Amino acid sequence: MFKFFKKKQTEEKITDDNQSQESSELVSLTFAANIEGDVFVDVFWNESEHELAHTMFAELMSKVVTGELTESIFDVISDISPEHSADIANIYINYIKEKMGSMISGNIDQLVDDELPVVSPTEVVKDYPFNQ
């Protein structure tokens, strides 16, 4: 459904591809980073081309956020730079492991909202309709 563009192209072809892509692009979600690591996000949908372009953009964004496109992204990376694809995959996997580990081993007290009522399991069982 989505076309991923490869990085290795001649400058003339890149210019032609960019012009044709801009004219036919319906939705896009672009990420870029500078040397300091600041991430910039650019979003686009063209409702003059299709009235549900915003909906299509939401679907694209959900696929990116949920990781549904991760395999496709790694396929493109492997095509663009086979010599770096393993390093990129390892960095990505280690980052995900680190994030998941900190979520799992984080301070449990921070996860519990003190204002919520605490109900013990025996209270729940005692109030269950079959026990009355």
Tell me, what's the pLDDT at 98?
86
How far, in Å, CA of 59 to CA of 115, rounded? Answer: 36
Describe the crossing of helices 70-80 and 82-104 by its angle, rounded to 10 degrees.
150
Sequence letter at residue 110:
Q
Which residues, listed in sequence order, are joined to residue 44 by a DSSP beta bridge?
28
Sequence letter at residue 50:
H
For the chain, what are the domain ranges?
Answer: 11-111
How far, in Å, CA of 87 to CA of 82, rounded? Answer: 10
Q: Which residue has the higher pLDDT, 119 or 79?
A: 79
Q: For residue 13, is pLDDT > 70?
A: no
DSSP-derived letter for residue 43 is E
How far, in Å, CA of 43 to CA of 57, rounded? Answer: 8
Sequence letter at residue 49:
E
Average pLDDT, the chain: 77
DSSP-derived letter for residue 32 is E
Q: Which residue has the higher pLDDT, 18 or 64?
A: 64
Mean pLDDT score, 37-51: 93
